[in-house]
Structure 1
Amino acid sequence: MPLPIREVLKKRILIGDGAMGTLLYSYGIDRCFEELNVSQAEEVEHVHEAYISAGADVIQTNSYGANRTKLARYGLEHEVGRFNRAAVRLAKQAAGPETYVFGTIGGIGGFQKQSVESNAIYSGFREQADVLLDEGVDGLLLETYYDLDELRQVLQIARGMTDLPIIAHVSMQEPGVLMNGLPLTDALTQLEALGADIVGTNCRLGPFHMIEALRGIPLPKKAFLSAYPNSSLPDYREGKLHYENEPAYFKKYAVDFRNEGVRLLGGCCGTTPVQIQAFKEGITELEPLHSKVVEAQPEVIKVRTPGNVPESPLYQKVLDGRSVFVEFDTPRHLNTRNFFEGIQALEEAGADAITMADNSLASPRISNTAIGKLIKDRFHVPPLVHLTCRDRNLIGLQSHLLGLHVLGLHDLLVVTGDPTKIGDFPGATSVYDVSSMELIKLIKQFNRGISYSGKSLKQPTHFRIAAAFNPNVRNLDRAVQRVKRKAECGADYFISQPVFDKQRIIEISEAARDINVPIYIGIMPLTSARNAEFLHNEVPGIRLPDDVRARIASAGGKEETRRVSLDICRELIDIAMAHFRGIYLITPMDHYSMSVELIKYIKQKEKILATQKNGARVIL
């Protein structure tokens, strides 16, 4: 049994192992790597042996993703115990008498933050840690945590479960700063204060950028410093990822890592026994650094919203009182004459905003950003641009948001987006790198002047965010809870799916009475009985009462159908205005004249209500 690792690190630098998945992937294995602990145990054990032969003093179990949440992707969530037990036993079988075996637990939030409930993360962590500790690991390695809050929580749980050594690694996209904008120095200080014995960073960055990140890091007061860089930036060739692996490069940088105070040096993605051996050779004969003069670092610029930034005129209308927004989607073709005639008519009728969906029902239309800019320049009614999670990956989303800000389009409706399989191109890819809640958080981070990676944007954006609310569900309370979570993420107000049931509007009002942000109730005219049946039976998030469908079905001819449809909408508007300040009119296809009539009705009703209110004051 090796000496306590804390005592050994006081005297010398230790070498960790490298990537498990990289080697397995190079063997042609591309599936759940943790399942291989059972199905291909010899291959996993051979990887451990290769790293030990290369000079690794510390190896980690093949259990990075062996938690309930990640295994569920493969339908293996019931195998947490079996996979983790096998992982420890294989590593211990390979380890010599002087080799430390650390049980690895990876971050669940990951680079692409997922909508996983906190309770599921922490219960899953405890379940996995219990097995690893029961099997007799020498310590725990918590690695690849992009979300510092998640790492802080699991570190506290782990520290409460064991006195064994704990390694805590954050991951960065930008050298020296976390995704929330916090400097690496502050993060490592927090982890040390929470009881981590070894603090450091792994993944994403290669040796060059990881050294840059460590230059401003002082030696921890009680803990030791660690670094597990990637091999390089990956190349994508013939459907596979490839990493450059020059041993001499790693041998040279081993000295630089030592000079920054690193006591535990290993590798992450792309590294193999070749790089680990190079690290070993690089630090041979080197004493660990016991003191360090930190170079003066440039002051971190904390971007704040200037006090003189004007509020969005549209959001000011949301706050001031009653307003009516109108959705009028951009054309699917390039003949825009009728569309802009409709915008003109809606503006003259008194619409407080024009909203445009982001390729609704997954069918391509003229870019709502381009049309939104034209509306902003040519008309006096503000545009509200929809933004889905469906069509853009994280790179595209960030670029798109920066472009919206530059164009002066600061009012957004953030939605998940209909899946591509229901649209014109069912074979197209639905991206969904983030959920709507995560996108709301990202936009609010932009408003603090911080990019997704934590890097400064040099100035803040000024977005105001509307979020979607679907009350057409069986469990309305659950839908309201989702609204509350979106509000906690930063949503400024909500816009509902179309509601066709007067009683449902009252129920929504009662269920949402403690929500402190405005809610706009969606009202949508029907154009025909076929349209009503299609919406009711085929469009997600829309339900029509039997009596509404019957009234439309019994109407004779287009004019009668139009009259009945508008009567239904007026009845719904009467109820909605008694309970909510905002109305959201959804224009059916290009029938903007129906929205014009309803705007006029709402404006007239507002005058009547205002007169009644003033009259009441006179009487009092």
Structure 2
Amino acid sequence: MGILDSLQQDKILIADGAMGTLLYSYGSDCCFEELNLSQPNQIYNIHKAYLNAGANLIQTNTYAANYHKLERYGLQDQVKEINSAAVRLAKRAVADHPDAHVVGTIGGIRAIKPEAIPLEEIKRTFREQLYCLLLEGVDGILLETFYDLEELETVLQIARKETDLPIIAQVSLQEVGYLQNRVHITDALNRLESLGADIVGLNCRLGPYHMISTLEEVSIPKTAYLSAYPNASLPSYVDGKLEYDSDADYFKETALAFRDQGVRLIGGCCGTTPAHIKAFSDALEGVAPLKEKQVKRKERTIILPSSKKKDVPTPLFEKAKKQQSIIVELDPPRKLNTDKFMAGAKALKDAGIDALTLADNSLASPRVCNTALGSIVKSDIGLRPLIHITCRDRNLIGLQSHLMGLHQLGIHDVLAVTGDPTKVGDFPGASSVYDVTSFGLINMIKQFNQGVSLSGKELGERTSFSVGAAFNPNVRIIDKAVERLEKKIDAGADYFISQPVFSEEKLLEVYQATKHIEAPIYIGIMPLTSSRNANFLHHEVPGIKLTPQVLEVMNRHQDDPQQASLEGLNIAKGLLDAALELFNGIYLITPFMRYELTVELANYAKKYGPFHSSRRVQNV
């Protein structure tokens, strides 16, 4: 009798619980799927423990047995061996349990970072694992722990095309009732059912309480069945290890509540053990499944515009589309005294710049918090701050908190950057987080503008961020850089700030390569201060290249710092002359807190570079 035959006979199937939790508690802290080869008896005994606890559907130990995840351990060439061994172990375990079934498990890859891996790569690695499981003769396929609905729909269609076996498709939620992209659970399960899933439901992330609350909004499917695999509880972190502290009696108490929501396949996820599964089995023994239910319709929240909307100035990029716009970078200081920084900000405000940009621990070296300084600049000087946000120093929790704080401070202009690796900074041994890259951060900020966090949770109101992105034109093949720029536009970037450019030829090349793009580009101009400064930038700073002519001029005055500084300023003015013919946006970069240089350049741009449509180069 197959899985669907059992369900058609009005049975509630009991699935197994966590595999990784038990292996972790036994002291295993490695690739759990590899243990199919090196510790087969351990895996077999866990299967037997769940079967003896009352499970009549067990899953293979293959959740992460795909090329992409095995590659972390150097095991990417053992996909077939690991998956094949897993199925054989599970089938051996059910040999003396005639009513038990084995499903081949395939877990989601993207988790809460949709951009982490392209769909084409997901398709390739999924097919490889799927074929391995099918060749070994599983009774069905379990697709579990999918946070990204697009990924699950993609692999479900592949699986449905390749096999007629039962397919279980389960999503994981960040919030009661919603996936991370704000798709409601009812819509998600309906879409999975329409794509051919035989059983649809939830697993992981939520414990019984919140999972039942979510299922209250879900109708019993017309052609599929409902499943639920709750976590045991929220984990705690004790002595360097994750621990779950939920007793099995609680699962026994909730079993009938799951049944009353129409669940026909029930098991456990993180933190669950054979004791939890026995609790479900004992509580549901002889209990008939529910065929009809009253759905609790919960009011869906309307996300309101920001209460601070009236305080939001016209976005910088809108100005740069039509007329001159000058922004200046003034790096927060490395030391606690900020007097010179504030004096520089005041001088630049008097020069009439549109915004002061503040880097986020540039070159991976700690500086005074740019958000704190930006807030002071805004309140005390009346100058608009543009805050850089790097992915290097904050995980997703910290990034979201940071954005929420910026919103509360009324700071709406941000630049999303991946960030220099810690290896280049003062603490080369520090961790680089990189939960997301600049692409993911741009997308995250744009979701905030819709009133939704990256996890899919509502923020209560919409933010009003203008999102800038970095653009490095100092490459051999400009078309590649422009392709990356275009991808950032697709992610939601409103405008771009470029690395400094040190030749008129490069300025013209950038203009020609980007003139089809509507998003404004603030072209970077940085005055050189000395021969050493020029050579350091050219040879050691990523993304910056000087021409041989500029290096020659600066090296000519290596023994005369004052003259070298004047030459650097003159070079910058010459570049400004060329840039003003081509771009509305100018981005002046202040070297070594020498704000008098960027003040002079800002005044020069305003005096000698007024923007008139007659001056703009239309077709060079």
TM band (smaller chain): over 0.9
Asked if the contact 2:329–2:588 (Cα under 8 Å) also holds between the matched residues in 1, the reply is yes
Change (3 A) 1:340 1:477: same
The CA RMSD measured in Å over matched residues stands at 2.1
Change (3 A) 1:207 1:598: same
SS of the residue corresponding to residue 505 of structure 2 reads helix
In structure 2, C-alpha distance between the alignment counterparts of 1:363 and 1:283, rounded to whole Å: 59
User: What's the CA shift string for 1:360-399, capped at 9, x where partnerless?
Assistant: 1111212111111112123343110111111112222111
Change (3 A) 1:252 1:398: same
User: What's the CA shift string for 1:237-273, capped at 9, x where partnerless?
Assistant: 1111111141111111111111111000011111111
Asked if the contact 2:307–2:461 (Cα under 8 Å) also holds between the matched residues in 1, the reply is no
In structure 1, C-alpha distance between the alignment counterparts of 2:612 and 2:482, rounded to whole Å: 30
Question: Partner of 1:50 in structure 2?
Answer: 49
1:336-351 mapped onto 2 (5 Å cutoff) = 336-351=338-353
Q: Is 2:538 the counterpart of 1:539?
A: no
Question: Partner of 1:123 in structure 2?
Answer: 124
Question: Partner of 2:372 in structure 1?
Answer: 370
1:178-193 mapped onto 2 (5 Å cutoff) = 178-193=179-194
1:17-416 mapped onto 2 (5 Å cutoff) = 17-96=16-95, 97-303=98-304, 310=312, 312-416=314-418
Paired residue type of 1:565:
G
Deviates more, 1:171-180 or 1:570-579: 570-579
Question: Partner of 2:561 in structure 1?
Answer: 558
In structure 1, C-alpha distance between the alignment counterparts of 2:117 and 2:578, rounded to whole Å: 37
Paired residue type of 1:23:
L
Which residue, out of 463, 467, 472, partners 2:465? Answer: 463
User: What's the CA shift string for 1:482-528, capped at 9, x where partnerless?
Assistant: 21111111110111112223322222233334333111221111111
1:378-527 mapped onto 2 (5 Å cutoff) = 378-527=380-529
SS of the residue corresponding to residue 191 of structure 2 reads helix
SS of the residue corresponding to residue 200 of structure 1 reads strand
Gap runs ≥5 in structure 2:
none
Paired residue type of 1:154:
V
Paired residue type of 1:525:
P
Gap runs ≥5 in structure 1:
none
Question: Partner of 1:569 in structure 2?
Answer: 572
Q: Is 2:12 the counterpart of 1:13?
A: yes
When the two structures are superposed, what TM-score results if normalisation uses the length of structure 2? 0.95
Deviates more, 1:440-449 or 1:553-562: 553-562
Q: Is 2:587 the counterpart of 1:588?
A: no
Deviates more, 1:547-556 or 1:13-22: 547-556
Asked if the contact 2:113–2:440 (Cα under 8 Å) also holds between the matched residues in 1, the reply is no
In structure 2, C-alpha distance between the alignment counterparts of 1:42 and 1:7, rounded to whole Å: 29
In structure 2, C-alpha distance between the alignment counterparts of 1:425 and 1:250, rounded to whole Å: 47
Asked if the contact 2:327–2:354 (Cα under 8 Å) also holds between the matched residues in 1, the reply is yes
SS of the residue corresponding to residue 140 of structure 1 reads strand
Paired residue type of 1:594:
L
In structure 1, C-alpha distance between the alignment counterparts of 2:328 and 2:106, rounded to whole Å: 49
In structure 2, C-alpha distance between the alignment counterparts of 1:537 and 1:10, rounded to whole Å: 73
User: What's the CA shift string for 1:51-91, capped at 9, x where partnerless?
Assistant: 11111111111111112221222222222222222222222
Change (3 A) 1:447 1:6: farther
In structure 2, C-alpha distance between the alignment counterparts of 1:386 and 1:466, rounded to whole Å: 9
Paired residue type of 2:39:
Q
Paired residue type of 2:58:
I
Paired residue type of 1:415:
V
Once the 2 structures are TM-superposed, how far is the Cα of residue 307 of structure 1 from its aligned partner? Answer: 12
Asked if the contact 2:472–2:498 (Cα under 8 Å) also holds between the matched residues in 1, the reply is yes
In structure 1, C-alpha distance between the alignment counterparts of 2:357 and 2:74, rounded to whole Å: 41
Once the 2 structures are TM-superposed, how far is the Cα of residue 606 of structure 1 from its aligned partner? Answer: 2.5
SS of the residue corresponding to residue 436 of structure 2 reads coil
In structure 2, C-alpha distance between the alignment counterparts of 1:207 and 1:308, rounded to whole Å: 39
Once the 2 structures are TM-superposed, how far is the Cα of residue 313 of structure 1 from its aligned partner? Answer: 4.5
In structure 1, C-alpha distance between the alignment counterparts of 2:39 and 2:561, rounded to whole Å: 68
In structure 2, C-alpha distance between the alignment counterparts of 1:10 and 1:111, rounded to whole Å: 38
User: What's the CA shift string for 1:207-255, capped at 9, x where partnerless?
Assistant: 1111111111111111100000111111111111111141111111111
Asked if the contact 1:314–1:382 (Cα under 8 Å) also holds between the matched residues in 2, the reply is no
User: What's the CA shift string for 1:302-330, capped at 9, x where partnerless?
Assistant: 55679975553534323332212110011
How many residues of Structure 1 are paired with residues of Structure 2 in the alignment? 613
Asked if the contact 2:227–2:264 (Cα under 8 Å) also holds between the matched residues in 1, the reply is yes
SS of the residue corresponding to residue 62 of structure 2 reads coil
In structure 2, C-alpha distance between the alignment counterparts of 1:430 and 1:284, rounded to whole Å: 51
Asked if the contact 1:113–1:434 (Cα under 8 Å) also holds between the matched residues in 2, the reply is no
In structure 2, C-alpha distance between the alignment counterparts of 1:523 and 1:220, rounded to whole Å: 61
Change (3 A) 1:114 1:242: farther
In structure 2, C-alpha distance between the alignment counterparts of 1:57 and 1:18, rounded to whole Å: 12
When the two structures are superposed, what TM-score results if normalisation uses the length of structure 1? 0.95
Asked if the contact 2:357–2:386 (Cα under 8 Å) also holds between the matched residues in 1, the reply is yes
SS of the residue corresponding to residue 111 of structure 1 reads coil
Q: What percentage of aligned pairs have identical amino acids? A: 54
Once the 2 structures are TM-superposed, how far is the Cα of residue 571 of structure 1 from its aligned partner? Answer: 2.7
Asked if the contact 2:7–2:264 (Cα under 8 Å) also holds between the matched residues in 1, the reply is no
In structure 2, C-alpha distance between the alignment counterparts of 1:562 and 1:118, rounded to whole Å: 51
